[in-house]
Amino acid sequence: MTGAIPLLQVDHLRKSYAKVLAVDDLSFRLEPGGALGIVGESGSGKTTTARMLVGMERPDGGRILVHGAPLATRVHGRAARLARAKAVQIVFQDPYLSLDPRMTVGAAIHDVLHLHRTAGQVGDLLARVGLGDREAALLPRQLSGGQRQRVAIARALAAEPAVLVLDEAVSALDVSVQAQVLNLLSDIRRDTGIGLIFISHDLAVIRYVCDEALVMRRGQTVEHRPITDLLTTPHHSYTRLLLSSVPRPGWHPETLS
């Protein structure tokens, strides 16, 4: 609806490191239940963008709003940290690094539920990501890579965030497991209305789960369009270069229908 407040709004975001401009005047919107892919090669600025969205990096300029309210760039105190975490959660490429190796899956999710005082149940969250009581009793090292990524998603959902950022969240998985996790994310988005920001170097992955794609190069947006349009008629030479390097045998934009 025109004029409606977006779920997430990013205005003129900017970040530099030692005079190197990592993100330069980045702006986009995400509607409730929307899914935006941010794609580019290493050094394009996409991961810096993800880190700013979740408060791991402080922007040099611009603003980030969730439900129309600016997210604080300087967070002090427990209540402010919890509010920031509830607005935006992130799932990383390697969930093993973010899971406590001494804590069972069930205990890790219970801790988040208790911390945020949300109404969810451990069993319900695990069921949502295709896991059950058996996995709840296991330690992270006892799980497969795909199972650990499902646990990381369940733990992020336990905070009931408005937006879930996925930073190369399936790139370490084999193709069949990737498809399972991407289908899972599509179902969660449909059922909950959560907004997804999918960070990836792989346009085939973005195509699978997102409505729109934003292509970044050297910190700037070179193209931002509906995913089907971008893949079938890319406007920018850099987008065409990314398309030509999609590592999927037999995949071509013309297979979209």
Answer for the pair 239, 230: CB distance below 8 angstroms, yes or no. Answer: yes
pLDDT at position 94, please? 84
Query: What is the per-residue pLDDT for 252?
Result: 45
Domains of the chain: 8-248 (3.40.50.300)
pLDDT value of residue 245: 74
Cα separation, 119 vs 104, in Å, equals: 20
| pLDDT for 172 | 82
What are 128's two structure tokens? 């949502």
Averaged over successive runs of 10 residues, the pLDDT of the chain (257 residues) comes to 80 94 96 95 93 92 93 72 86 85 95 87 94 96 93 93 93 86 92 94 88 96 95 92 69 42
| Sequence-ordered alpha helix ranges (H) in 117-165 | 122-128, 133-136, 145-157
Q: Please, are residues 10 and 26 in contact by the beta-carbon 8 Å criterion? A: yes
Give the pLDDT of residue 246.
67
First-to-last CA distance in the chain?
Answer: 26
Assign 3-state DSSP to the chain and report helix, strand, coil percentages, each to 5. 40, 25, 35
Which pLDDT value is given to residue 248? Answer: 54
Which pTM does this prediction carry? 0.90
